[in-house]
């Protein structure tokens, strides 16, 4: 069991094969599909429910964008560590006055 509240969004990446789940518990869990859906990383950057998560590949590598009821959009870049493992690192955040 990964989340303590309802899952509000799922997103799949084909390359690398990752699954992200976002929830009312403010967490994003990233699972490695090729390793039996083992949790690769848990992200705890939002202060409220996460309403959407998406993977993007703008030509500079895989990115993740998430938005939440805290009116914040977070951009993250997938990085490869020295051990060959993956990790998302925060690039930028945007806060607004309107709900997304």
Residues 6+ apart with CB under 8 A from 55: 11, 12, 13, 18, 20, 62, 63, 64
Report how far apart, in Å, the C-alpha atoms of 68 and of each of 36, 95, 98 are: 28, 10, 11
Report how far residue 54's alpha carbon sits from residue 74's, in angstroms, rounded to the nearest whole number. 11
Q: Which residues form the domain of 37?
A: 7-95
Tell me, yes or no, whether 39 lies in a domain: yes
Domain count, the chain: 1
Looking at residue 98, its pLDDT comes to 53
pLDDT tens-place string over residues 73-94: 999 999 998 888 899 999 877 7
Residue 100 located in a structural domain: no
pTM to 2 decimals? Answer: 0.87
Name the pLDDT band for 100 (thresholds 50, 70, 90). Answer: very low
pLDDT in tens, 15-71: 899 999 999 999 999 999 999 999 999 999 999 999 999 999 878 889 999 999 998
Name which of 37, 88, 97 is nearest 62 in CA terms.
Answer: 88
Lowest mean pLDDT among 1-10, 59-68, 90-99: 90-99
In a domain, 2, yes or no: no
Domain presence at residue 69: yes
pLDDT band at 97 (very low <50, low <70, confident <90, very high): low
């Amino acid at each position: 069991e990964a989340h303590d509240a309802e899952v509000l969004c799922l997103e799949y990446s084909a390359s690398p094969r990752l699954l992200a789940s976002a929830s009312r518990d403010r967490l994003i869990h990233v699972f490695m599909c090729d390793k039996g859906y083992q949790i690769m990383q848990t992200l705890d950057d939002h202060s409220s429910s996460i309403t959407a998560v998406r993977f993007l590949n703008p030509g500079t590598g895989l990115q993740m964008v998430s938005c939440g009821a805290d009116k914040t959009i977070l951009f993250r870049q997938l990085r490869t560590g020295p051990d060959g493992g993956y990790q998302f690192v925060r690039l930028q955040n945007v806060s607004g006055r309107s709900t997304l």
